[in-house]
Structure 1
């Protein structure tokens, strides 16, 4: 019996670095599970589209697909765009069974990835001392999604015994620059920013720009194609594949 195909479904971006990073992440997942059919797809702005990827898998003989949304929070894209894309795909292909897993999410293990990225940024900037951290995320009009980021920020602060505030690139305050300025108003001068984004793009760039303008000493790169992220994708897939098994 052929295992269900895995589609790693990202939002997409006009910035080509974003799609390149997602495809590199998918390559990392493939290296861990060469026995699985694993494909990238995007909701919009990047190629291949979800429909194109599904069509290719159906032509290859797959009638079961597990979709892992490469989203860090349960916001609009997870609640609306992903279900709509799957509904359209199953309507177009009779007999196709598709299961969406929960989103990639904000796993505590991602803090280890964040730390590695931040250490690299600190080394590049020759920074040896920190007295505050800002956790920069995309932001959402969904308050629960923002609260999830804030919880992870508190966990990050506890880990490093430093004050940490969550900041957002869109839809919610504070912006990264505002967060950095607030720390500086408290007398802190060694403030670094961790980029809680999956891939490079307009929002991460803007968050970094505002932070540096406000006086941040370093800004990390996004999580990217890290093995921990790849392992989380496979963990989501495993649950989704089980859910496709007839009871």
Structure 2
């Protein structure tokens, strides 16, 4: 069993269907990296929240995690809210090693993939 987790962190929405692409991303990522536990957590409106997921991961013996904000940019949630949440989790769970990376939309390859998708829409 892995002791490392990759947390895909999304905003969340009231409509359950909103989570479908994130769930597909989680499944694709897990299939590509079977030795790492890949989980999905939400900021609000959906479960699990990040604190709920961290509790479960720790209960399962996982104490090292990388958190990937599945956000298009580094907005207020990623720049302010998320670091506060992570600080609170670190205080509550000092055994937890958690690293946050930039929002996915900040990555050049992600932007190129989105560009390619947009260009494929042309007649």
TM-score (norm 1): 0.45
Distance 1:49 1:83 in 2: 14
The Cα RMSD (Å) is: 1.7
Whether the 8 Å contact between 2:73 and 2:103 is mirrored in structure 1 is yes
Aligned length in residues: 118
Report the CA distance between 1:8 and its aligned residue.
0.2
Report the CA distance between 1:3 and its aligned residue.
5.8
In structure 2, what is the equivalent of residue 102 of structure 1?
102
In structure 2, what is the equivalent of residue 74 of structure 1?
74
Distance 1:72 1:18 in 2: 15
Distance 1:77 1:5 in 2: 22
In structure 2, what is the equivalent of residue 11 of structure 1?
11
Matches within 5 A, 1:180-219: none
Distance 1:79 1:45 in 2: 19
Distance 1:18 1:81 in 2: 21
In structure 1, what is the equivalent of residue 39 of structure 2?
39
Distance 2:6 2:25 in 1: 13
Distance 1:39 1:103 in 2: 16
- Asked if residue 86 in structure 1 is aligned to residue 86 in structure 2, the reply is yes
In structure 2, what is the equivalent of residue 112 of structure 1?
116
Secondary structure (helix, strand or coil) at the match of 2:104 reads coil
Residues 101 and 3 of structure 1: CA distance in aligned 2, closer, same or farther (over 3 Å): farther
TM-score (norm 2): 0.86
Secondary structure (helix, strand or coil) at the match of 1:6 reads strand
Unmatched tracts of structure 2, length 5 or more: none
Whether the 8 Å contact between 2:3 and 2:63 is mirrored in structure 1 is no
